[in-house]
Structure 1
Amino acid sequence: MAEEKDSKATLGEEIIIDPAEVVGLDDEKPLQDDVKAGKRGRVLKAYNVLEDPEVIVVPDFVNEAEIQHLLQLAERGWQPSEVGSGVYKSKDEAKDLANEVSDIRTSYSCLIEPGTSNMVTAIEYRLATLAGMDVKHLEPLNMVRYAPGQFFKEHHDGRFRPKTVFLYLNDVPPGEGGETMFPDLNVKIVPRRGCAVMWSNIIGPQQEDNRMVHQGLPPKATIKYGVNCFFNDKPMRRFVEGEDTKPKPSEAKVSILDPLDIVQRCPVPATKDARADPDAGLRLRRLRVSQDPALWLVPDVISSREAGQLMDMMDRQQGRTPAGGFRVEGDEDLQELLADLEARLAAAAGLAGQASVRGLELRRLPAEASGGARVVSAPEEQKPFRAVYLFLHDLPDGGQLLFPKLGRQVTAREGFAAVWDPEDQDHLGLPPKTGSRYGISCTFLL
Structure 2
Amino acid sequence: MSKRKHPLENKTLKVSKTDFPSLSRTTNGNTDKSSQLLLVQLPPTLSLDELTKSSRFIIQEGEDKDKCRLISEGSEGKTFDLVRVETSNSYIMVKHGTDIRKDDDVNDNDDSQNKKKANARLLRESNTFFLECIENKDNLEIEVERILKKHVYPDDRKGITLNEIEKILMHSTSEIKNVLKKMMAFPIPCTGTDAGTDTDTERYGVVSEEVERETWFIIVSVLSEWDGAIDYAGKGVHLEAMVQEVMKRKEDNDDLEDCVVRFCLRLCMCSISSDNNNNGKSESEDHGHGLVKLGVDYIARILAHSLFNAMTAPWKERDFHEEWCKLMPGVGDIYEPSLELLKGIALVQTKSEVEAEMGPGIGNTEPEPESAVYLKYFPRDRLPSDAKDRCKILFREKKTWKADEIIPYLTDIVEKSSSSFSSVQELLVRHATVVNDVTDDGAALYYMSK
Query: What interval of TM-score do these two structures reach, taking the shorter chain for normalisation?
Result: under 0.3
Greater relative contact order (CA < 8 Å, ≥ 6 in sequence) = 1
| Higher strand residue share | 1
- Superposition TM-score, scaled by structure 1 size: 0.24
Structure ID, larger Rg = 2
| Higher helix residue share | 2
